[in-house]
Protein backbone atom coordinates (compact mmCIF):
# COMPACT_ATOMS: atom_id res chain seq x y z
CA UNK A 1 0.00 0.00 0.00
CA UNK A 2 1.45 3.36 -0.96
CA UNK A 3 -1.11 5.89 0.21
CA UNK A 4 -4.14 5.36 2.41
CA UNK A 5 -6.44 2.99 0.53
CA UNK A 6 -4.30 2.79 -2.64
CA UNK A 7 -2.43 -0.23 -3.95
CA UNK A 8 1.05 0.04 -5.50
CA UNK A 9 -0.68 -0.31 -8.87
CA UNK A 10 -3.06 2.60 -8.13
CA UNK A 11 -6.25 0.69 -7.26
CA UNK A 12 -8.32 1.71 -4.29
CA UNK A 13 -10.56 -0.94 -2.79
CA UNK A 14 -12.27 1.26 -0.23
CA UNK A 15 -15.89 0.69 -1.32
CA UNK A 16 -16.36 -2.61 -3.16
CA UNK A 17 -19.43 -2.87 -5.37
CA UNK A 18 -20.12 -6.45 -4.40
CA UNK A 19 -19.90 -7.89 -0.90
CA UNK A 20 -17.10 -10.38 -0.21
CA UNK A 21 -19.67 -13.08 0.59
CA UNK A 22 -21.12 -12.77 -2.94
CA UNK A 23 -17.66 -13.12 -4.52
CA UNK A 24 -16.92 -16.14 -2.34
CA UNK A 25 -20.17 -17.86 -3.34
CA UNK A 26 -19.45 -17.14 -7.02
CA UNK A 27 -15.96 -18.63 -6.78
CA UNK A 28 -17.18 -21.74 -4.94
CA UNK A 29 -19.87 -22.29 -7.59
CA UNK A 30 -17.25 -21.94 -10.33
CA UNK A 31 -15.01 -24.51 -8.63
CA UNK A 32 -17.90 -26.94 -8.01
CA UNK A 33 -19.01 -26.68 -11.65
CA UNK A 34 -15.47 -27.46 -12.82
CA UNK A 35 -15.26 -30.50 -10.55
CA UNK A 36 -18.63 -31.82 -11.70
CA UNK A 37 -17.84 -31.34 -15.40
CA UNK A 38 -14.50 -33.16 -15.20
CA UNK A 39 -15.47 -36.05 -12.90
CA UNK A 40 -16.23 -38.41 -15.80
CA UNK A 41 -12.78 -37.73 -17.29
CA UNK A 42 -10.82 -38.78 -14.21
CA UNK A 43 -12.06 -42.38 -13.97
CA UNK A 44 -9.52 -44.69 -12.35
CA UNK A 45 -6.42 -42.69 -13.25
CA UNK A 46 -3.22 -43.38 -11.30
CA UNK A 47 -0.50 -40.73 -11.09
CA UNK A 48 2.95 -41.60 -12.42
CA UNK A 49 5.92 -39.93 -14.13
CA UNK A 50 4.86 -38.52 -17.49
CA UNK A 51 1.28 -37.79 -16.44
CA UNK A 52 -0.24 -34.37 -16.95
CA UNK A 53 -2.69 -32.59 -14.66
CA UNK A 54 -5.06 -29.72 -15.29
CA UNK A 55 -6.75 -27.85 -12.49
CA UNK A 56 -9.06 -25.09 -11.38
CA UNK A 57 -8.85 -23.15 -8.16
CA UNK A 58 -10.04 -20.27 -6.06
CA UNK A 59 -7.33 -17.78 -5.03
CA UNK A 60 -7.25 -15.22 -2.26
CA UNK A 61 -4.57 -12.55 -2.76
CA UNK A 62 -3.77 -10.90 0.57
CA UNK A 63 -1.94 -7.88 -0.88
CA UNK A 64 -4.07 -7.31 -4.00
CA UNK A 65 -6.53 -4.90 -2.36
CA UNK A 66 -6.93 -3.09 0.94
CA UNK A 67 -8.60 -6.21 2.35
CA UNK A 68 -7.42 -8.69 -0.30
CA UNK A 69 -9.22 -9.95 -3.39
CA UNK A 70 -10.59 -13.23 -4.73
CA UNK A 71 -9.46 -14.68 -8.02
CA UNK A 72 -9.71 -17.68 -10.33
CA UNK A 73 -6.79 -20.02 -11.03
CA UNK A 74 -6.21 -22.35 -13.98
CA UNK A 75 -3.12 -24.57 -13.81
CA UNK A 76 -1.39 -27.23 -15.88
CA UNK A 77 1.39 -29.55 -14.63
CA UNK A 78 3.51 -32.37 -16.08
CA UNK A 79 5.32 -34.92 -13.88
CA UNK A 80 8.97 -35.38 -14.89
CA UNK A 81 9.63 -38.04 -12.23
CA UNK A 82 7.62 -39.39 -9.30
CA UNK A 83 8.88 -36.48 -7.15
CA UNK A 84 9.40 -33.57 -9.57
CA UNK A 85 6.97 -31.78 -11.85
CA UNK A 86 6.87 -28.55 -13.83
CA UNK A 87 3.90 -26.41 -14.65
CA UNK A 88 2.25 -23.07 -15.05
CA UNK A 89 -0.73 -21.29 -13.58
CA UNK A 90 -2.78 -18.29 -14.61
CA UNK A 91 -4.66 -16.17 -12.06
CA UNK A 92 -7.33 -13.58 -12.83
CA UNK A 93 -8.33 -11.45 -9.83
CA UNK A 94 -11.93 -10.22 -9.57
CA UNK A 95 -11.41 -6.53 -8.79
CA UNK A 96 -14.28 -4.16 -8.13
CA UNK A 97 -13.42 -0.51 -7.63
CA UNK A 98 -15.97 2.22 -8.35
CA UNK A 99 -13.18 4.78 -8.91
CA UNK A 100 -11.89 2.96 -11.99
CA UNK A 101 -13.46 1.35 -15.04
CA UNK A 102 -12.51 -2.19 -16.06
CA UNK A 103 -9.77 -2.86 -13.48
CA UNK A 104 -7.78 -6.02 -14.32
CA UNK A 105 -5.02 -7.74 -12.37
CA UNK A 106 -3.50 -10.99 -13.68
CA UNK A 107 -0.61 -13.31 -12.81
CA UNK A 108 1.22 -15.93 -14.84
CA UNK A 109 3.57 -18.26 -12.93
CA UNK A 110 5.97 -20.94 -14.14
CA UNK A 111 6.78 -23.39 -11.32
CA UNK A 112 8.83 -26.43 -10.47
CA UNK A 113 7.54 -28.61 -7.63
CA UNK A 114 9.55 -31.02 -5.49
CA UNK A 115 7.58 -33.54 -3.40
CA UNK A 116 8.86 -33.86 0.18
CA UNK A 117 6.22 -36.49 1.00
CA UNK A 118 4.98 -38.52 -1.94
CA UNK A 119 2.53 -41.18 -0.81
CA UNK A 120 -0.27 -42.68 -2.85
CA UNK A 121 -3.01 -40.49 -1.35
CA UNK A 122 -1.18 -37.63 0.44
CA UNK A 123 1.60 -35.37 -0.88
CA UNK A 124 3.52 -32.38 0.49
CA UNK A 125 5.61 -30.29 -1.90
CA UNK A 126 7.64 -27.09 -2.15
CA UNK A 127 7.63 -24.90 -5.23
CA UNK A 128 9.72 -22.16 -6.79
CA UNK A 129 9.41 -20.33 -10.04
CA UNK A 130 9.18 -17.21 -12.16
CA UNK A 131 6.32 -14.73 -11.93
CA UNK A 132 4.75 -12.19 -14.30
CA UNK A 133 1.99 -9.85 -13.14
CA UNK A 134 0.15 -7.01 -14.79
CA UNK A 135 -2.62 -4.58 -14.08
CA UNK A 136 -4.67 -2.28 -16.26
CA UNK A 137 -7.55 0.08 -15.63
CA UNK A 138 -9.36 3.03 -17.19
CA UNK A 139 -10.00 6.22 -15.27
CA UNK A 140 -13.41 7.83 -15.72
CA UNK A 141 -11.83 10.75 -17.62
CA UNK A 142 -11.25 11.14 -21.32
CA UNK A 143 -7.99 11.79 -23.04
CA UNK A 144 -4.70 10.04 -23.71
CA UNK A 145 -4.00 9.42 -19.99
CA UNK A 146 -7.31 7.72 -19.21
CA UNK A 147 -5.75 4.23 -19.29
CA UNK A 148 -2.93 3.04 -17.08
CA UNK A 149 -1.12 -0.29 -17.05
CA UNK A 150 2.00 -1.79 -15.56
CA UNK A 151 3.76 -5.16 -15.86
CA UNK A 152 6.28 -6.65 -13.44
CA UNK A 153 8.49 -9.75 -13.30
CA UNK A 154 9.50 -11.52 -10.11
CA UNK A 155 10.04 -14.83 -8.34
CA UNK A 156 7.68 -16.97 -6.30
CA UNK A 157 8.12 -19.61 -3.62
CA UNK A 158 5.68 -21.66 -1.62
CA UNK A 159 4.42 -25.11 -0.89
CA UNK A 160 1.35 -27.26 -1.04
CA UNK A 161 -0.67 -30.21 0.18
CA UNK A 162 -2.46 -32.66 -2.09
CA UNK A 163 -5.00 -35.39 -1.45
CA UNK A 164 -5.43 -37.83 -4.36
CA UNK A 165 -8.97 -39.19 -4.37
CA UNK A 166 -8.83 -41.71 -7.24
CA UNK A 167 -7.70 -39.29 -9.93
CA UNK A 168 -9.18 -36.11 -8.46
CA UNK A 169 -6.43 -34.27 -6.64
CA UNK A 170 -7.59 -31.69 -4.07
CA UNK A 171 -4.91 -29.14 -3.19
CA UNK A 172 -4.08 -26.14 -1.00
CA UNK A 173 -1.12 -23.98 -2.05
CA UNK A 174 0.20 -20.91 -0.22
CA UNK A 175 2.67 -18.85 -2.25
CA UNK A 176 4.76 -15.69 -1.73
CA UNK A 177 5.79 -13.52 -4.68
CA UNK A 178 8.80 -11.18 -4.47
CA UNK A 179 10.01 -8.66 -6.99
CA UNK A 180 7.37 -6.94 -9.07
CA UNK A 181 4.09 -6.80 -7.13
CA UNK A 182 5.07 -8.40 -3.81
CA UNK A 183 2.18 -10.39 -2.39
CA UNK A 184 1.05 -13.49 -0.54
CA UNK A 185 -1.73 -15.70 -1.91
CA UNK A 186 -3.36 -19.01 -1.12
CA UNK A 187 -5.12 -21.26 -3.65
CA UNK A 188 -7.62 -24.07 -3.04
CA UNK A 189 -8.79 -26.28 -5.86
CA UNK A 190 -8.74 -29.54 -7.73
CA UNK A 191 -6.57 -31.11 -10.43
CA UNK A 192 -7.43 -33.92 -12.79
CA UNK A 193 -4.99 -36.40 -14.33
CA UNK A 194 -5.15 -36.91 -18.09
pLDDT tens readout for residues 17-44: 555 666 667 666 766 666 666 554 444 3
pTM for this model (two decimals): 0.71
* Nearest residue to 5 (alpha-carbon basis) of 70, 97, 102: 97
Residue 13: CB partners within 8 Å, gap ≥ 6? Answer: 5, 7, 65, 66, 67, 69, 95, 96, 97
Residues sharing a CB contact under 8 Å with residue 29, sequence separation 6 or more, in sequence order: none
pLDDT of residue 80: 94
Q: Which domains does the chain have, with CATH numbers?
A: 20-193 (2.40.160.20)
Torsion sign over Cα 77, 172, 111, 181 = positive
- 13 pLDDT band, cuts 50/70/90, is very low
How far, in Å, are 6, 22, 61, 66, 83 from residue 177 at the CA level?
19, 27, 11, 17, 23
- Cα distances from 83 to residues 47, 49, 86, 137, in angstroms, run 11, 8, 11, 41
Amino acid sequence: MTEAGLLPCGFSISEPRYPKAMKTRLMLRFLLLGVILTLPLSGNAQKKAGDSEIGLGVVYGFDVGADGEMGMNVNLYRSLTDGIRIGADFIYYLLNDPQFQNPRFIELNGNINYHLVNQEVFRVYVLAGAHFAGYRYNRPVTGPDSEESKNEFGLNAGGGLEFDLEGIILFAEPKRTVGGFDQYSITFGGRFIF
